[in-house]
């Protein structure tokens, strides 16, 4: 007697489930290639710039972080300016113990330097050079005045960072309210747009006459 074999109907797959599985299979290679959403973008390194001719011949080791006075009483001419910031490495870690030196022109556009032969006057109350060591959090602060432009250059503040005998970075900070002069400055405009943005001080919210200039060391 011949045996009968029962034939079961083919299972019916939910079309929505099939579409979901298909999308997952197509997306799987992309999930491997895409970086994690949690991965933080490392901060961009601060661009280096030339030191220029007016770095002090003999840096005044007795200078502090206030450029706008010599005797601690009389103040230099010009618009007061505070410069604050943090120094970090490219991983965002604060760099304590870094010597930050700055130098700049006075309110007339002249450096306090014997080789600056500008006809503009010197200001006896303007030191023109300052130095500060970053805290454990990488912070620094300077009191100064807004630098003035001189022929060929837009207003700027020179920065030199070092640790011991090792020079870490030389760069320049530019003023955000001098956009027209910045656009005519050959050294500033020689940089790419993104690099130029990193060299312009940022007004500090809630702090009048204060620019923030955070520095990232490579």
pLDDT value of position 88:
98
- Pairing, β 166-174 against β 156-163: antiparallel
80-217 under CATH 2.60.130.10, yes or no: yes
Closest CA to 179 of 205, 199, 159, 204: 199
pLDDT value of position 116:
97
- Give the residues across from 82 on adjacent strands: 143, 210
- Asked if residues 149 and 182 have their Cβ atoms less than 8 Å apart, the reply is no
pLDDT value of position 60:
87
Query: pLDDT by residue for the chain (218 residues), tens digit each?
Result: 544 545 545 555 454 544 444 444 444 444 344 444 455 677 899 999 999 999 999 988 889 999 999 999 999 999 999 999 999 999 999 999 999 999 999 999 999 999 999 999 999 999 999 999 999 999 999 999 999 999 999 999 999 999 999 999 999 999 999 999 999 999 999 999 999 999 999 999 999 999 999 999 99
Q: Which two structure tokens, joined as six digits, stand for 2?
A: 């011949």
Distance between CA atoms of 98 and 168, rounded to whole angstroms?
Answer: 9
Distance between CA atoms of 88 and 29, rounded to whole angstroms?
Answer: 36
Widest CA span in the chain: 124
- Asked if residues 168 and 142 have their Cβ atoms less than 8 Å apart, the reply is no
pLDDT value of position 41:
74
Number of helices and strands (H, E) in the chain?
A: 4, 9
Say if pTM beats, i.e. exceeds, 0.85.
no
């Amino acid at each position: 007697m011949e045996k009968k074999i029962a034939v079961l109907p083919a299972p019916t797959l939910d079309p929505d489930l099939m579409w979901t599985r298909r999308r997952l299979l197509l997306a799987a290679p992309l999930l491997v290639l895409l970086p994690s959403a949690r991965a933080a973008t490392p901060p961009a390194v601060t661009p280096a710039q030339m030191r220029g001719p007016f770095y002090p011949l003999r840096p005044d080791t007795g200078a502090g972080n206030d450029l706008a006075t010599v005797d601690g009483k009389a103040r230099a001419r010009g618009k007061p300016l505070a410069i604050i910031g943090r120094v970090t490495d490219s991983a965002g870690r604060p760099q304590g113990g870094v010597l930050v030196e700055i130098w700049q022109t006075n309110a007339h556009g002249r450096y306090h330097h014997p080789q600056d032969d500008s006809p503009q006057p010197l200001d006896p109350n303007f030191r023109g050079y300052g130095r500060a060591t970053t805290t454990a959090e990488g912070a620094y602060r300077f009191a100064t005045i807004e630098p003035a432009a001189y022929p060929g250059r837009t207003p700027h503040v020179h920065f030199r960072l070092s640790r011991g005998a090792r020079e870490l970075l030389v760069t320049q900070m530019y003023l955000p309210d001098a956009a027209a002069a910045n656009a005519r400055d050959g050294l500033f405009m020689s940089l790419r747009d993104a690099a130029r943005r990193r060299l312009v001080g940022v007004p500090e919210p809630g702090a009048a006459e204060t620019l923030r200039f955070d520095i990232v060391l490579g």
